[in-house]
Amino acid sequence: MSRELFSIESEHGVIGAILLEPELFEEVTAKVRVSDFHELENAALYQTMIDCHAAGIPVDVVTLGDYRQRLPSGTSTLAYAGEISAGVRSTANWKAYARVVRERAVLRQVVAAADVIREQASEERPVTEIIALAQQATADLRDLDDGHQDYYRASEILTTVVDTIDAKFNKTAPCGLSTGLEKLDEIICGLRPGNMIVIGGLAGSGKTTLGLQIGQHITCQLGGAGLVFSMEMTKEELVTRGLASIGSVNLTRLDRGDLEDDDWPKLTSAVNKLNGARLYVNDQAGMTMARIRSVARQCQRREGLDVLLVDYIQLITAEGGQNRTLEVGKISTALKNLAKELMVPVIVLAQLNRGSTNRPDKRPRPSDLRDSGQIEQDADVVILVHCDKESEEGQNGVTELIVGKVRHAKAGSCIVQQQGQFVRFVDFEGRPPSDEEVEMNRRPFASKYKGTV
């Protein structure tokens, strides 16, 4: 095997660091596993160190030799540990040594897997199976230590936090990205980096419309970059809906090609806006979280990324064979982790169960999110799209956005107007009903919006 696939010096550096400074044991063993060592003698000595520590025995050259007299080759443990200890002069570079050991271990795994993949390819196995094996073989590369600190003292963070507060006070920094809907922004204080924003709704409620509209606003109006994963609609359908929404062109006429004279300048304007926008779309079916993460990181590296949209969580393919609740729960947690990793808002669309339809007011709650309660737990913000189609308001597009959870502000709700022909929402200009009017089942503001859906 090529020397480039392992480093004896780095393996000795990791072991020697613990021998010179036993206080490093927990930190070192959290980063390097026994299986990461290439040399059998080094792996055996490292395992002996772990066994001694677990038994409550101090880890040093003498105790190691006493605990295990011989290594697999027959070499004296005492002599071998003493030689390593004498050869490592300082513990200052142990993190660099640990990273090299981990990297080389993963590279060896990839090389070994490549050999297996080559053999399977020659056996004319299905291409999908070979690709899946290749993806699994390189999965450990994502888990390599990135050199970030494991924890920070509060005083190290204070300067950044105070500077951010000052910038927000002086209006030189936004609280978060705007959704394009004024009343919704007031409640959630914008979309914040690292947050997972869940938009839930029943089928046909408008959750996809709201999610796409927010993405279009960030990319077309704010100049940001956005990536949309759509597992329900094709990329052509998404762009067509974008043209209707941005250009105020009737979607039905766009689909039929039955455009009127005044539609053409609107369509041209929408085409120009979308053409200049950094809006990227992925409509591949059967996407897994590993694949979503890979594509998102690639897009961020190449194009930049300000917002990520996933439509919708229940359509993401699970990689395990567990029950559905556990599968969706793992996917939800992975999406939250992805938001923190990319440091962008991740908007996740989700289906609701039918529980809300059995309530007198039919208003959904975050607990109505389908398949897993983990979605509600992981979310920083939960927005529920509620449109009662049995009411006069609902038939005329009046929709309530219920912010059932928001970590950094107070939950609340606002009324918006859905313009169905343009597949978009606009701020509600009428007067929402009072509590008394709701109780009396009065709807004096609905007639103003007849014919707008």
Q: Which residue range(s) make up the domain with 31?
A: 1-145
The string of pLDDT tens digits covering residues 5-64 is 888 999 999 999 999 998 889 888 888 889 899 999 999 999 999 999 888 888 999 999
Q: Which of 198, 194, 238, 197 is nearest to 219 (CA)?
A: 238
Query: Are 217 and 298 a contacting pair, CB within 8 Å?
Result: no
**382: CB partners within 8 A, 6+ apart:** 198, 200, 366, 369, 376, 403, 404, 405, 406
| pLDDT over 60 (residue 241) | yes
Give residue 139's pLDDT: 54
Q: Which of 93, 89, 113, 90 is nearest to 101 (CA)?
A: 93
Is 188 within the bounds of a domain? Answer: yes
Q: For residue 2, what is the DSSP state?
A: -
| Residue 376 and residue 319 in one domain | yes
Q: Is the pLDDT score of 88 beyond 80?
A: yes
| Residue where a domain terminates, one of 106, 127, 145 | 145
Mean pLDDT of the chain: 83
CB 370 within 8 A of CB 352: yes
Lowest mean pLDDT among 2-16, 150-164, 240-254, 401-415: 150-164
User: How far apart (Å, rounded) are the C-alpha atoms in residues 281 and 304?
Assistant: 14
CA distance 47 to 36: 11
Question: How far, CA to CA in Å, does 428 sit from each of 114, 184, 297, 415?
Answer: 58, 11, 37, 6
User: The domain spanning residue 121 has which CATH number?
Assistant: 1.10.860.10
pLDDT of residue 450: 40
Pick the range with the lowest mean pLDDT from 102-111, 340-349, 409-418. Answer: 102-111
Q: Are 114 and 137 in contact (CB under 8 A)?
A: yes
380 falls in which pLDDT band (50, 70, 90)?
A: very high
pLDDT in tens, 93-104: 898 999 899 888
198 and 337 share a domain?
yes
For residues 87 and 126, membership in a common domain is answered with yes
Q: What phi, psi does 415 have (nearest 5°)?
A: -100, 130
User: Is residue 149 pLDDT above 70, yes or no?
Assistant: no
Residues 127 and 261 in one domain: no
Q: pTM of this prediction?
A: 0.66
41 and 184 share one domain: no
CA atoms within 13 A on the CB side of 192: 16
Kindly state whether residues 134 and 221 are assigned to the same domain.
no
More confident residue, 117 or 449: 117
3-state secondary structure of 194: coil
